[in-house]
Amino acid sequence: MDLPSPSATVFHAIESTIKEYRKFSQKKLSNAVSDMTIDQGLVLAFLDRYPEMSQKEIAALAFKDNASMTRMINLMVKKEYLERSINKLNRRRYKLEITPKGKNVLKTLTPIVLDNREKALEGVTEEELIQLEATLKKIKSNCNKP
């Protein structure tokens, strides 16, 4: 029994698409801000929108492992994009704050990210987008079944 060529499956197409988007997006981002990855930018964006988030919650939204998130945030603290302090209400979680440097980067980065998304979706109709999300959701939920 042979596998149909793995490069012909829809999973291959999904993966290649998201990878292209990441490369494309990272390139634009690097032109504007050195020293910042897409994922680090995402962390800033999440924290900006939900300032009370714990590392664990951010990790979940960004599809990262907790351990990875710890290390990412360590780096971002070292690079002075974030500050970690003790959360007195629950000393297991930290309080994370975006530094002024982080806020600046976020300001630079925001229009770039918006533009990236727009360019990546050029010529894709609203209808197609809805259909795309619906099909992805089906696949995702199939993978979640016990």
Partner DNA sequence: TGTTTATAATTGATATATCAATTATTTTTG
Partner DNA sequence: CAAAAATAATTGATATATCAATTATAAACA
- Interacting residues toward a copy of itself by CB under 8 A: 1-3, 5-7, 9-11, 13-21, 23-25, 42, 45-46, 48-49, 61, 63, 107, 110-111, 113-114, 117, 119-124, 128-129, 131-140, 142-145
Smallest distance, Å, CB 107 to a copy of itself?
A: 8
Q: Residue 70 or 108: which CB sits closer to a copy of itself?
A: 108
CB of 72 to DNA, least distance (A): 4
Q: What is the DSSP string of the chain?
A: --PPPGGGSHHHHHHHHHHHHHHHHHHHHHHH-TT--HHHHHHHHHHHH-TT--HHHHHHHTT--HHHHHHHHHHHHHTTSEEEEE-TT-TTSEEEEE-HHHHHHHHHHHHHHHHHHHHHTTT--HHHHHHHHHHHHHHHHHHH--
- Residue 127 CB, shortest distance to DNA, in Å, is 31
Residue 121 site contact among a copy of itself, DNA, none (CB < 5 to 8 Å, cut-off depends on kind)? a copy of itself
- What does 85 bind: DNA, a copy of itself, none (CB cut-off 5 to 8 Å by kind)? none
Smallest gap from residue 134 Cβ to a copy of itself (A): 8
Nearer to DNA, 1 or 67 (CB): 67
Distances (CA, A) of 129 to 11, 49, 76, 77, 121: 18, 24, 34, 37, 9
